[in-house]
């Protein structure tokens, strides 16, 4: 018996985010035998960019049950079933974490319809849920909602079962995919000594040269994932035989790990960091004028030669920043690219949008506010200290920004405090600002993710 599942969440990581919707279809290999669907109250606000994607708002889930209230019902449907999902690890990790938080220990064999489709139906241009469904003639009703996406996954799985002439599904279920297989030239004791802490790690070849640099919130878990997972970001078969040693540097938290990783890739230029060398994923806020003369915004990946108004290290950070400007300057979220769903502007219906999207507000009046908002993008930034977790329990970390520009990072005793900007500068090691690092800082100032942000009122000038 299979449990075919799809969920919606407040973000991309089970450790930091929560489920907002669950759909489960039980399938006996021939037909659907039962189904379950509910919204979930994540007990936190749903980010604006998630609402723009799914249409699920904080208001919609206020009266919905929290996960613990439906955990038993969900467990009864999943227990003893083979777990099936499109990108199964994502859905599985969230449900496992939520069930553990509810006091329920659950494990299951897993089937991923992405990986199965690549093997059983090779040669397609894309294996995303939307593209795969289109290739197979499957219409998705209510896209980016758990019920609609789960129903599409059921139809995909039906086709995979019919087309699996080489019994690949059965072979996948028999495979022991959880076993960590180390590279042949890596001493086991080096892997065993890796810490379960945040930092930057380095893969070295037989001559000691760094061939790959990575960052992780949990170094050991991340490296184990390289050796056991899909590892699509680098050529797994080639790099495995070249890894002879692993070294690392602890950073205490994700932000400094991201900064150090970016700097080390630029310094060392490792052969297997091709993606970061030529395409660092950054998101930018752009402006343009539509055919009616209204100034509009969009959030897109930063490409070579493009000139975004502001850069961010994630799409979520860019959307949250843009939502703040929409609220502050009374702009239309539909014209700002924040409402992807078709139909009337959400904010116009509630009276918060003045109607530019409907042609009610004049081009001149609306564009004046947009231009004022754009000026606030580029005005001189604040001087702040982002204080987070250190490398050990006696330490805190410090990332320093002067008038919107990154200065450097450092560490200090947790019993001390940061009293002023000049004393903070003494604690950090100055480093070069790059667009990538600045986009990371922009994202963390908006969403500190567990760190604290200290704003300095005045900064002395030379």
Q: Do 167 and 24 sit in the same domain of this protein?
A: yes
Q: Do 355 and 406 sit in the same domain of this protein?
A: no
Instruction: Give the Å distances, CA to CA, from 92 to 15, 95, 261.
Output: 12, 5, 29
Single out the residue of 435, 213, 406 nearest to residue 302, CA to CA: 435
User: What is the rounded distance in angstroms from the CA atom of residue 191 to the CA atom of residue 238?
Assistant: 19
Residue 364 lies in a domain: yes
Helices (H), 141-213: 146-163, 168-174, 188-192
pLDDT-derived band at 307, boundaries 50, 70, 90: confident
Q: Which residues contact 460 (CB under 8 A, 6 or more apart)?
A: 421, 422
User: What pLDDT, on the 0 to 100 scale, is given for residue 410?
Assistant: 93
User: What pLDDT, on the 0 to 100 scale, is given for residue 175?
Assistant: 60
Residue 297 lies in a domain: yes
CATH of the domain at 100: 3.30.420.10
Q: Do 294 and 428 sit in the same domain of this protein?
A: no
Residue 261 lies in a domain: yes
Residue entry with tokens 């960019």: 49
The number of folded domains in the chain is 4
Q: Where are the beta strands (DSSP E) in 272-349?
A: 283-289, 295-301, 310-312
Residue 182 lies in a domain: no
pLDDT in tens, 140-199: 888 889 999 999 999 999 999 999 998 888 888 876 443 235 676 788 788 889 999 999
Q: Which residues contact 251 (CB under 8 A, 6 or more apart)?
A: 198, 199, 200, 215, 257, 260, 391, 397
Q: Do 158 and 63 sit in the same domain of this protein?
A: yes
Residue entry with tokens 């070249």: 242
Residue 180 lies in a domain: no
Torsion sign over Cα 444, 446, 450, 456: positive
User: What is the rounded distance in angstroms from the CA atom of residue 91 to the CA atom of residue 94?
Assistant: 5
User: What pLDDT, on the 0 to 100 scale, is given for residue 195?
Assistant: 94
Residue 227 lies in a domain: yes
C-beta of residue 332 within 8 angstroms of C-beta of residue 347: yes
Percent of the chain at pLDDT exceeding 70: 91
User: What's the chain's length in residues?
Assistant: 462
Q: Do 167 and 308 sit in the same domain of this protein?
A: no
Q: Do 341 and 270 sit in the same domain of this protein?
A: no
pLDDT at 69 over 60: yes
User: What pLDDT, on the 0 to 100 scale, is given for residue 237?
Assistant: 52
User: What pLDDT, on the 0 to 100 scale, is given for residue 36?
Assistant: 96
Percent of the chain at pLDDT exceeding 90: 48
pLDDT at 240 over 80: no
Q: Do 360 and 262 sit in the same domain of this protein?
A: no
pLDDT in tens, 361-399: 999 999 999 999 998 886 556 788 899 999 999 999 999
Q: Do 160 and 55 sit in the same domain of this protein?
A: yes
Among candidate residues 250, 278, 306, the one where a domain is terminated: 278
Among candidate residues 278, 293, 309, the one where a domain is terminated: 278
User: What pLDDT, on the 0 to 100 scale, is given for residue 278?
Assistant: 47
pLDDT in tens, 108-147: 888 989 888 888 999 888 888 989 999 999 988 888 899 9
pTM value > 0.85: no
End-to-end CA distance of the chain: 72
pLDDT at 461 over 50: no
Between 378 and 219, the more confident residue is 219
Between 461 and 24, the more confident residue is 24
Instruction: Give the Å distances, CA to CA, from 235 to 16, 239, 241, 276.
Output: 29, 6, 11, 14
Single out the residue of 42, 46, 141, 153 nearest to residue 94, CA to CA: 42
pLDDT at 2 over 70: yes
Token couple for 283: 């998101």
Q: Give residue 436's domain range.
A: 383-456
User: What is the rounded distance in angstroms from the CA atom of residue 278 to the CA atom of residue 10?
Assistant: 30
User: What pLDDT, on the 0 to 100 scale, is given for residue 389?
Assistant: 92
Q: Do 130 and 193 sit in the same domain of this protein?
A: no
Between 424 and 36, the more confident residue is 36
pLDDT in tens, 248-305: 999 999 999 999 998 899 889 998 886 555 456 788 999 999 999 999 999 999 887 8
How many Å is the Cα radius of gyration of the chain? 24
Q: Do 109 and 196 sit in the same domain of this protein?
A: no
CATH of the domain at 220: 3.40.1440.10
pLDDT in tens, 436-451: 787 788 778 777 777 8
Residue 415 lies in a domain: yes
Mean confidence (pLDDT) of the chain: 86
Single out the residue of 87, 105, 88 nearest to residue 96, CA to CA: 105
Q: Do 302 and 192 sit in the same domain of this protein?
A: no
Q: With 0-12 CB in 10 A as exposed, 13-18 as middle and 19+ as buried, what is 380?
A: exposed
pLDDT at 344 over 90: no
Q: Do 40 and 145 sit in the same domain of this protein?
A: yes
CA 211 to mean position of chain CA atoms = 26
Among candidate residues 362, 378, 394, the one where a domain is terminated: 378
User: What pLDDT, on the 0 to 100 scale, is given for residue 236?
Assistant: 47
Residue 434 lies in a domain: yes
Q: Which helix (H) or strand (E) holds 78?
A: helix 67-78
pLDDT at 316 over 90: no
Q: Which residues contact 249 (CB under 8 A, 6 or more apart)?
A: 199, 200, 260
């Amino acid at each position: 018996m299979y449990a075919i599942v799809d969920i919606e969440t407040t973000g991309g990581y089970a450790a930091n985010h929560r489920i907002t919707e669950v759909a489960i279809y039980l399938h006996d290999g021939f037909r659907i035998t039962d189904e379950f669907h509910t919204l979930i109250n994540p007990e936190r606000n749903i980010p604006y960019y998630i609402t723009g994607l799914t249409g699920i708002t904080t208001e919609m889930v206020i009266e919905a049950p929290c996960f613990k209230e439906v955990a038993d019902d969900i467990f009864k449907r999943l227990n003893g079933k083979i777990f099936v999902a499109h990108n199964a690890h994502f859905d599985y990790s969230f449900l496992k974490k939520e069930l553990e938080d509810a006091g329920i220990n659950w494990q299951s064999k897993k089937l991923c319809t992405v990986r199965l489709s690549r093997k059983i139906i090779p040669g397609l241009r894309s294996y995303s849920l939307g593209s795969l469904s289109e290739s197979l003639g499957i219409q998705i009703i209510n896209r980016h909602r758990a019920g609609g996406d789960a129903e599409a996954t059921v139809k995909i799985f039906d086709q995979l079962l019919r087309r699996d002439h080489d019994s690949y599904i059965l072979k996948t279920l028999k495979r022991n995919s959880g076993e960590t297989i180390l590279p042949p030239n890596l001493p086991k004791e080096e892997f065993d000594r890796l810490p379960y802490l945040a930092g930057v790690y380095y893969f070295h070849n037989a001559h000691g040269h760094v061939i790959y640099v990575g960052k992780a919130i949990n170094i050991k878990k991340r490296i184990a994932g390289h050796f056991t997972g899909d590892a699509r970001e680098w050529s797994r078969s080639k790099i495995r035989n070249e890894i002879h040693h692993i070294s690392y540097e602890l950073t205490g938290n994700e932000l400094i790990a991201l900064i150090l990783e970016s700097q080390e890739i630029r310094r060392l230029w490792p052969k297997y960091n091709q993606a970061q060398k030529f395409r660092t994923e950054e998101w930018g806020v752009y402006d343009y004028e539509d055919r009616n003369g209204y100034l509009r915004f969009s959030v897109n990946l930063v490409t070579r030669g493009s000139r975004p108004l502001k850069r961010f290290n994630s799409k979520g950070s860019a959307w949250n920043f843009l939502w703040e400007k929409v609220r502050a300057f009374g702009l239309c979220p539909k014209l700002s690219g924040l409402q992807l769903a078709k139909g009337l502007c959400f904010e116009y219906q509630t009276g918060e949008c003045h109607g530019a999207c409907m042609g009610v507000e004049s081009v001149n009046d609306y564009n004046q506010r947009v231009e004022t908002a754009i000026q606030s993008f580029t005005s001189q930034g604040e001087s702040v200290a982002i204080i987070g977790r250190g490398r050990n329990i006696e330490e805190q970390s410090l990332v320093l920004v002067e008038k919107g520009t990154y200065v450097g990072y450092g560490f200090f005793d947790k019993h001390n405090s940061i009293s002023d900007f000049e004393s903070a500068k003494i604690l950090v090691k100055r480093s070069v600002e790059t667009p990538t690092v600045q986009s990371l800082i922009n994202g963390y100032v908006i969403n500190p993710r567990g760190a604290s942000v200290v704003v300095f009122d005045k900064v002395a000038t030379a």
